[in-house]
Amino acid sequence: MWIVAACANFIAVSTWVMPVFLLPGSLVMIAYPHGPAAMFGGLFMGAVLAGGPKNLGFRLSLFSVLAGITYKAPAETQQISVYGLGGLFVMMMMITNVPGRPTKWPRQPWFFNLLTETMNAKSYYKAASIGGNLKAIKPGKVMYAVHPHGVLTAGWTWNMFFNKDFHKMTGKVGFLMDEGLRIKNPTFRLMADWCESDSQWAGSATRSVMLKAMEKGDSSLALLPGGFQEATLCAMGKDRVYIKGRAGFVKYCLMHGYAITPVYTFGESDTYSCFPFLLKARLALAKQNIPAAAMFGAWWCPILPRPSAAIHTVFGDPVKLPKIPEPTKEDIKKYHQLYQDGLVAVFNKHRAEFGKADAELEIF
């Protein structure tokens, strides 16, 4: 049933957005009995908690300060502060590495199967598919560079991350995601850990994680090179990508001999209406890893994408790269351009197929 698929999408989207409201909400509740100034102070402490050291000692020290604030709250409003403190503690412990406790939550195959098979999350959309040069998708050293990011990456999520058919073609595949989501977002981290398996894993899209995976060389990789900047560029019906300044992953692919397959999802920009103004200012925020996109999806639940969207993810021809342990700037520039050309080629090849015969890919 469609309503069941909608619930599956709500579960997935909630893991991304819920802490955005829960963390500041908990801090405001903790400080609420002490007035507006204290609430602003609580939000500041939350920023310190999120951006400061990740070790247990630091976080417990900061938490003890907040616990003291709760203890000093007036009796008539203390219960509000207690609820906020409890919520904060749960979220904090979900993202804090505790000595003697595994750094990842145990795999839960039932959760992956619940969303993909039992609830059939993809059926929420008008259509969802993968296509293009599927014959070239084989196990090995391949980086799938996926565009556009969109607001909440519907194509990446349902056509790739939650798609066992794709995993069978790639062999073992690692999905590289924003570190803030993968490590610092409690519920998203939980979902990513639960959904790992022998055929897929989820890691931070950082230099160290990427290089370690490439040095090991036992899995394909999938990356959203455009990141938050590309999410910021998202506009209803527009085909935009942010790649001109994103060449780091090309360097790493050259260092370890990974091919790059350009991937494009048609319909990603139809999932949400986005705030279109102050683009330069919002891109500047996105450069600091601060999401700067305000979206509105389904009218009956704005955080959900529009079910009228058809998300079709197409794969281009792999751009084969030589293995160059110490690539020069010229090497990187050359193959970065070949990758851009490949992305434009796959877009132009399939645009008419998905009702965009006259569309042009905007490259930022």
- Tell whether 29 and 135 lie within a shared domain: no
- Tell whether 85 and 20 lie within a shared domain: yes
Last residue of a domain, one of 40, 70, 94: 94
- Tell whether 235 and 308 lie within a shared domain: yes
pLDDT of residue 282: 83
In this structure, the dihedral spanned by the alpha carbons of residues 39, 188, 240 and 289, taken in order and rounded to 10 degrees, is 50
- Tell whether 86 and 139 lie within a shared domain: no
User: Does residue 285 sit within a domain?
Assistant: yes
- Tell whether 208 and 154 lie within a shared domain: yes
pLDDT of residue 97: 86
Nearest to 127 by CA among 306, 315, 345, 348: 306
User: Does residue 83 sit within a domain?
Assistant: yes
- Tell whether 263 and 338 lie within a shared domain: yes
Distance CA 113, CA 123 (A): 14
- Domain of residue 243, residue span: 126-363
Last residue of a domain, one of 73, 94, 115: 94
- Reading phi first (left if > 0) and then psi (alpha if -120 to 50, else beta), residue 316 is in beta
pLDDT of residue 291: 72
pLDDT of residue 80: 95
Domain count, the chain: 2
pLDDT of residue 280: 81
User: Does residue 107 sit within a domain?
Assistant: no
User: Does residue 313 sit within a domain?
Assistant: yes
pLDDT of residue 287: 79
Q: What is the CATH number of the domain that holds 249?
A: 3.40.1130
Q: What are the average pLDDT values for consecutive 10-residue runs of the chain, which has 364 residues?
A: 96 93 92 91 84 87 93 93 95 89 93 98 98 96 97 96 97 95 94 96 97 96 95 92 95 98 97 86 77 87 96 98 97 98 98 95 96
pLDDT of residue 1: 85
User: Does residue 109 sit within a domain?
Assistant: no
- Tell whether 147 and 197 lie within a shared domain: yes
- Tell whether 88 and 156 lie within a shared domain: no
pTM above the 0.75 mark?
A: yes
User: Does residue 188 sit within a domain?
Assistant: yes
Beta strand 240-241 pairing with 310-315 = unpaired
pLDDT of residue 192: 97
H-helix or E-strand spanning residue 144? strand 142-147
- Tell whether 198 and 344 lie within a shared domain: yes
- Tell whether 288 and 150 lie within a shared domain: yes
User: Does residue 119 sit within a domain?
Assistant: no
- Tell whether 217 and 353 lie within a shared domain: yes
Q: Do 286 and 226 form a contact (C-beta atoms < 8 A)?
A: no
pLDDT of residue 130: 98
User: Does residue 104 sit within a domain?
Assistant: no
Give me 184's structure tokens. Answer: 């610092």
- Tell whether 83 and 133 lie within a shared domain: no
Nearest to 247 by CA among 346, 342, 331, 142: 331
Distance CA 229, CA 231 (A): 5
| DSSP state at residue 161 | I
Nearest to 67 by CA among 86, 43, 90, 53: 86
Nearest to 246 by CA among 337, 314, 160: 337
